[in-house]
Chains A and B, each alone.
Chain A
């Protein structure tokens, strides 16, 4: 018995010591083996993998075409409507349903999308220093690249934060790489002020990163075009300052119109020789205007594009959604009569007597008051207008693609029973490369998405300068350059109705900015910063019917809902639940 206990005790001691001390007895058996998963150590331990990680961030720049499922952001403004009854802006934005999921990415994952992009930038900024230089890289090149990549990441991060700001207002600024095991809430549930967010962070970042970016010469050549270059930082700063000087933000930001004007001027002074309005091609006013977007900077020497997303050439599938149904398309973006009414006459006069701060003519029962001196008549509403109308909008009778636009009920572009027939009587032409339609829709074309082009800088300057000093030659000069490119003959200086009043000139500039930058994702944010979004976006969307005899009649195409709370999107529900972050006003 004694022996038993002794043996048992011995066995117990042996097994206990074996169990506790022998975890390492099998040495490397449990060590992580080479495997096919790529890890952080690998990516940030190899210069070339890190580079690829960095360049992947460019994919977080979103293309604007069909941004909201089948619809464009501008179809959520008074400039257009979509033919899609569901799955786009009509069942979300245009009825005030900002929590709707039909708008998909724009409403449900913008928040997460940009924060994902921001994390990538933060990783480059915070970790590039520890990435070993690759052996075949000269020291100079290594230092240069390191500076460039860091600066690009800072620029991209600023852009992502800017995109978030437009939609959600100031949101938590994350500049570190958050650890999922760490504290994710305490630092990031308070919302910064506009000044902290925009002035102290975004503008500072842009000014600091500019010098470290590629120079114009390096970033605009055939090899690197599309990389972030120095002018882009300056251009984005111009836009941001203009916004910050605008009525909605000026009190909070403290940025003045003078600073906004200076920002635009500084771009023109510093980089003006590199950039210009695209005026080549013919002088009919249509091609120069359209090709300012469709020509590329590197292949076609288009000097107007400043900041763009560099995509590969696309074919029919990329534009099918937005082309007329007669062409086989689906009318995803159908311009409104509201937009059509904003274009001037080719001689530079305005077709209507009064315009408001939204840039649109003042409507009485859906009808603007005609300026009889302009020669405008509703019966011939598309004749004798600013060429940008024809360049932007496909209206009845336009020869385009493989046919002539015909929106008479039951005819080519308005067949009965086709749900995608235009609800406004128009289809879009701007940004749709006609070349693709050739040879039975087998053509291809580049269609890079432009974020900033030179015309915007000029409009920024004109708008800010008018606010600072009222109508002046410098303002007229900016506007005339843009208008003449599209064939307008008259000069703004000769428009006594405008030159006499800062307010009239302001409304005119708002209108000019709207038509020039139509469908480039400016309208939604411009009307907000001008504090006129309720007026502009709750106004009905007008359209036209063309009778069998060709008679044009105005109609209300869609009613719209826009309330004050819609100045900002609601923060996604899930995020509010998780973090208790303060939601935007009046959203619950």
Chain B
């Protein structure tokens, strides 16, 4: 198709051509400089000079000439070779009359009365990220994101619009709509995106019925425009680096620690002073002499595991254009992202590489054809191919066993040059070299066929539309394994006097790469249909825009025999008087097949009002470009609640069965696994939103303020009032309620000082929530009542790190730290002792008996002189921040442009693992432990005992009453910490070649740029911890920062 167009152009060029001369002027006849002039459907251009004159070669007499210039509406005219040929451009007076995408249509910004945020694809492109969502937090007001996993090809980022508004962690995801069809956003690239509209209030999402309660993200892809043929090419080369890599404990520190811990536990030291001295020397980087060189090590296993930088490439090509009959837009992108693993390990084997490697191809083609004057057909195709190579060994094994929990006192190589490995130093090089290859292939196809009929002959402004879309997604996987030879030797053997005397033990043995075992992992497909009538017309000052349509959705997922279905009847209407008073409403009557037949249908509605005060004659003023007040109220639903298929029906499962008689042939058994509950339905969001939009003095001061309150109901909760005598598990009940409130503020300023154009734009997102009803049983102590408090998931921090992506946001009942137990005289022998002698024993007893020195003394909330679960307080935040301020600043001068994006996450708690000070397993530290523990010496007055950062470790187990892995309780504010931080998210510096220069070769833009992402963070957390994902270095693929150099060329 593309080639076809190019070919047609070439033919056209061959016919009798002349030189066209003319002038571009505005409506007052003043010349316009720098306007782009071209022949329709061609990409050759000419620029008008400072007097508005232009010269365009090779023009034929029938050619249509297109002109465009910033600040003016595009214009076309037939070529006229006479003297005095002039094209008049009309000023683009009111940018608020430009339309923006809204559900199932477009609407002028001025007429928007709902709460929305918009970001353009162009803005998103500036962030050198591989996951689009990561750029949202700083650019879209009202949105929170959290990057769970940064692994190439498997990156996952959770998104929340206006916060976490429901207790049901499976019902928080916003709806994603790409070109009016429900689709996924992950792995979409920014290039083909025209803009993203985030619908925040229920009045705007009510049209999506029982899918809209969490807000919606509307992605609109670019479409071809008649006129100039545009070619846009981008090439980026970048690097990713680790954003956090904790300082590992060196072997000198480790030896000191072990000795001191043993001393404090009453055991003999593990290392002699002579050995300590040798560890000190190797830790200072010295090379020891003789056999000691092979005996004392200070290995930094992170250095063995990671490389410094991983390359990243991005290429994109977009071609668009067309004429009045047909228009096209095509985008093709390629992304290559490599992993952070050490190349020595990944390249160990000759014939294959075990590095993480993502190769992604993204294709988008949108074609619109006007078949007749009354019939328009659009065909949109999208395709994505992901090829991911990765180590078969899991990321958890590589990071945790490979480095974090490996012993720094062990070597990387044996004296004879073989790779060293042991059960306490698994050696990441060995893991990488012997990890085989796992290959994942994803194949996605997105297709939409849309037919639009113009029924104006019947009724002016009436249109009929039908859209069918089919999306399919498939994943294949193959794994291959191998192993390599590794050895260890008796490096601690004191009898060895010469390196040749060491005895070697084989730890693992070579095995060749196995044949791939391939399988299809999963697939799904969606089938969407949407059809109805549009009516849009103006009668003098009255504007009406209305729509009625039906929408169906079917989704088949691997592993499920039945497809999920929804059906809805929808209506939208907007009425505006003189662009001044706006009334807008929509209604959706929607059903999902997942609910009981008599409970299926729900009605969702939204209504909003707007008053554009700046259109009033008494206020109309050139200093006020926009002043609009608006209010909305609506009801939307959320039917994806994680309740599974048909929760209204009881389900039966096969049980263990039972055997009778001698033969014991098993009789398969069935049991009732869940009793149905017809009140297991969708959540309901009722939301009120009040807002104001303003623009004074031509963007000298502009912005928007939105405040909202949401009443959420129908949240699935486990009814605590269902007693066990019922004898079966019962499906959750749509009984819970929660309330959220918050605000979003945007404030901007654009200005010009001399030749410098600059801008400042601040965003502020704030929201908070509370549970208002959850059928809670009476808590032991009043302060642990959940109703009335902030929503959080569980009280176990374990949920946060046992899985890399599980939607759990944490929030915890925690013990409150008071001081370290540093004085043996203040420790009571029992709870009774503590009660009887409060003056003597200021510490409270631990629930499991006597308080150990160096452990935390917590606040005794109920005053029973004992610390137990009743003394925990649910006063932490979650990892999803409640307040996000962001600042976007930039300037342009003489072709140079610079900008920076800052944002902060506030009102946020994070969990730090005890691995910060020492790892719970195998006594390997990841930090300078001697600076950090709570019981350093026997002297109670020693400031190190009083001012320690972390609790005391015990040899062979770090039992610090509530900071110990074995007891599973890190639930205190030693480990659950303030997660506030400020981040320099993005900096971009660019230089564009002067238009006059590049226009000579018909180039419209040529820009070179440098961009960085996740550049620097300020927080209260320990150094080298990424505050967004503090423990990622410990268990998962570490979070990265990235830098990109790029060039963007347009013809």
Verify if B56 is at the interface (C-beta below 8 Å from A).
no
Cα A26 to Cα B590 with chains together (Å): 12
Q: Is B552 touching A26 in the complex (CB atoms < 8 A)?
A: yes
8 A-B pairs with least C-beta separation = A56-B669, A119-B727, A33-B562, A35-B562, A112-B724, A38-B652, A180-B730, A58-B658
The answer to whether B679 has its CB under 8 Å from any CB of chain A is yes
Nearest chain B CB to A244's CB is how many angstroms away? 24
Q: Any chain A CB within 8 A of the CB of B717?
A: no
Q: Does B646 sit at the interface, judged by CB under 8 A?
A: yes
CB distance from A180 to the nearest CB of B (A): 4
Contacts of B351 in A (CB 8 A): none
Looking at B310-318, B463-471, B564-572, B800-808, the stretch in contact with chain A turns out to be: B564-572
A29–B552 touching, CB < 8 Å: yes
Residues of A within 8 A of B266 (CB): none
Interface digits, B660-674 against A, CB 8 Å rule (1 contact, 0 not)?
111110011111100
Q: How far is the CA of A111 from the CA of B727 in the complex (A)?
A: 9
Min CB distance B694 to A, Å, is: 32
- Report if A225 contacts B (CB, 8 A): yes
B587 touches A (CB below 8 Å): yes
Give the contacts of A183-199 with B (CB-CB under 8 A): 184-185, 188
Known: A18-B548, A30-B567, A52-B670. 8 other contacts (CB 8 A): A4-B542, A8-B544, A52-B667, A59-B658, A174-B725, A224-B660, A311-B659, A312-B664
User: Min CB distance, A33 to chain B, in Å?
Assistant: 4
Chain B residues within 8 Å of A221, by CB: 661
Find out whether the CB atom of A578 lies under 8 angstroms from the CB atom of B661.
no
In the bound complex, do residue B546 and residue A226 qualify as a contact, i.e. CB atoms below 8 Å apart? no
Return chain B residues, CB-CB under 8 Å to A227.
660
Measured between beta carbons, the chain B residues less than 8 angstroms from A52 are 657, 667-670
Distance in Å: Cβ of B209 to nearest Cβ of chain A: 12
Q: Are A18 and B678 in contact (CB-based, < 8 A)?
A: no
18 contacts between A and B (CB under 8 A): A8-B544, A18-B548, A29-B567, A29-B593, A38-B670, A40-B649, A40-B652, A49-B670, A53-B671, A56-B656, A56-B669, A56-B671, A112-B724, A120-B727, A180-B728, A184-B726, A222-B663, A574-B777
Q: Is B675 located at the chain interface by the 8 A CB criterion?
A: yes
Residues of B within 8 Å of A, CB-based: how many?
67
Q: Which residues of B contact A296 (CB under 8 A)?
A: 662
Closest residue on chain B to residue A123 by CB atoms: B672
Instruction: Check A31 for interface membership: any CB of B closer than 8 A.
Output: yes
Residues of A within 8 A of B899 (CB): none
Minimum Cβ distance to chain A for residue B573 (Å): 8
Residues in chain A near residue B561, CB distance under 8 A:
33-36
Q: Is B422 an interface residue (CB 8 A)?
A: no
Is A223 in contact with B591, judged by CB distance below 8 angstroms?
A: no
**B723 and A180 form a contact (CB under 8 A):** no
B652 touches A39 (CB 8 A): yes
In-complex Cβ contact of A55 among B651, B657, B662, B730 (8 A): B657
- How many angstroms from the CA of A49 to the CA of B587 in the assembled complex? 46
Q: In the complex, which residues of chain A have a beta carbon less than 8 angstroms from the beta carbon of B730?
A: 180
- The answer to the question of A440 belonging to the interface, with a C-beta cut-off of 8 Å to chain B, is no
Q: Determine whether the beta carbon of A31 is less than 8 Å from that of B593.
A: yes
Task: Confirm or deny: A37 has a beta carbon within 8 angstroms of a beta carbon on chain B.
Answer: yes
1/0 contact trace for B898-940 toward A, CB 8 Å?
Answer: 0000000000000000000000000000000000000000000
Pair B655/A59 contact, Cβ less than 8 Å:
yes
Annotate B1004-1033 by CB proximity to A: 1 below 8 A, 0 otherwise.
Answer: 000000000000000000000000000000
B721 touches A15 (CB 8 A): no
Closest A residue to B564 using CB positions: A33
Kindly list chain A residues whose C-beta atoms are within 8 Å of the C-beta of B652: 38-40, 42-43, 53
> A119 vs B730: C-alpha distance in the bound complex, in angstroms?
13
B670 near A56 with CB under 8 A, answer yes
A271: CB under 8 A from chain B? no
Contact B567 A37 (CB under 8 A): no
Q: Which of B562, B567, B589, B727 contacts A174 (CB 8 A)?
A: B727
> In the complex, what residue of chain A is closest to B725 when comparing beta carbons?
A115
Q: In chain B, what residue has the closest Cβ to A174?
A: B725
Nearest CB on A from B869, distance (A): 12
**A310 proximal to B (CB < 8 A):** yes
**Residue from B587, B589, B646 in contact with A37 in the complex, judged by beta carbons closer than 8 Å:** B646
Bound-state CA distance A572–B723 (Å) is 11
Contacts known (A33-B563, A312-B664); A579 close to B723, Cβ less than 8 A: yes
Taken residue by residue from 705 to 735, chain B's Cβ proximity to chain A (1 for < 8 Å, 0 otherwise) reads as: 0000000000000001111111110110000
**Taking CB as reference atom, which chain B residue is nearest A40?**
B650
Q: A1-B539, A19-B569, A56-B655 are in contact. Are A181 and B725 (CB under 8 A)?
A: no
**List of A residues within 8 angstroms of B720 by Cβ:** 574, 577-578
Query: A102 at interface (Cβ–Cβ under 8 A)?
Result: no
Q: Does A11 contact B (CB under 8 A)?
A: yes
| Known A-B contacts A19-B587, A59-B669, A181-B678; A119 and B728 likewise in contact (beta carbons under 8 Å) | yes
A22 at the interface (CB under 8 A from B): yes
| A58-B658 Cα distance, complex, nearest whole Å | 7
Asked whether, in the complex, the Cβ of A34 is within 8 Å of the Cβ of B591, the reply is no
Known: A23-B589, A30-B600. A37 touches B651 (CB 8 A): yes
Tell me if A298 counts as interface (CB < 8 A to partner B).
yes
Question: How many Å from the CB of A381 to the closest CB on chain B?
Answer: 37
The answer to whether B778 has its CB under 8 Å from any CB of chain A is yes
Bound together, the chains give a CA A362 to CA B675 distance in angstroms of 54
**Is A62 an interface residue, CB under 8 A from the partner?**
no
Contact A310 B658 (CB under 8 A): yes
Q: Does residue B601 face the partner (Cβ distance < 8 Å to A)? A: yes
Task: Say yes or no: is B560 at the interface (Cβ < 8 Å to chain A).
Answer: yes
Give the shortest distance, in Å, between B719 (CB) and chain A (any CB): 8
**Residue from B546, B587, B721 in contact with A11 in the complex, judged by beta carbons closer than 8 Å:** B546
The answer to whether A23 touches B591, judged by C-beta atoms less than 8 angstroms apart, is yes
Task: Find chain B residues with CB under 8 A from A51 CB.
Answer: 667
CA distance A560 to B650 in the complex (A): 46
Closest to A44 in B: B652
Closest residue of chain A to B778, judged by CB? A577
- Is there a chain A Cβ closer than 8 Å to B653's Cβ? yes
Contacting residues, chain B, for A577 (C-beta < 8 A)? 720, 777-778
* Residues B726 and A115 in contact, CB atoms below 8 Å apart: yes
A32 within 8 A of B: yes
Residues of A with C-beta under 8 A to B593: 29-33
Other-chain residue from B591, B650, B672, B726 in contact with A30 (beta carbon distance below 8 A)? B591
A575 within 8 A of B: yes
Q: Evaluate contact between A120 and B725: CB separation under 8 angstroms.
A: no
Q: 8 Å CB contacts to B: which residues of A90-149?
A: 111-112, 115-120, 122-123
Measured between beta carbons, the chain B residues less than 8 angstroms from A226 are 658-661
How far apart sit A224 and B535, CA to CA, in the bound complex (Å)?
75
Whether A310 pairs with B567 at a CB distance below 8 angstroms is: no
**Minimum C-beta distance from A110 to chain B (A):** 10
Assess whether B565 is in contact with A29, with CB atoms less than 8 Å apart: yes
Asked if B400 is at the interface of the complex by the 8 Å CB criterion, the answer is no
Contact B657 A299 (CB under 8 A): no
Residue A178 at the chain B interface, CB threshold 8 Å: yes
> How far is B669's CA from A574's CA once the two chains are assembled, in angstroms?
29
Query: How distant is the Cα of A180 from the Cα of B649 in the complex, in angstroms?
Result: 12
Interface flags, B670-692, vs A, CB<8A=1, else 0: 11100111110000000000000
Closest partner residue, chain A, to B649 (CB atom): A39
* B459 CB to nearest A CB, Å: 8
Which chain B residues lie closer than 8 Å to A58 at the CB level? Answer: 658
Instruction: For A14, list chain B residues within 8 Å (CB).
Output: 548
CB of B723 within 8 A of CB of A56, answer no
Q: Min CB distance, B593 to chain A, in Å?
A: 4
Residue of B nearest to A298 (CB): B662
Q: Which residues of A contact B646 (CB under 8 A)?
A: 32, 35, 37
Residues of B within 8 A of A575 (CB): 723-725
B645 on the interface (CB 8 Å rule)?
Answer: yes
Distance of B544 from chain A, by nearest CB (Å): 7
Q: How far is the CA of A112 from the CA of B548 in the complex (A)?
A: 53
Are B726 and A55 in contact, with the CB atoms below 8 A?
no
Given contacts A11-B546, A52-B657, A222-B661, contact A115 B724 (CB under 8 A): yes
- Cβ distance B405 to chain A, nearest Cβ, rounded Å: 26
A410 at the interface (CB under 8 A from B): no
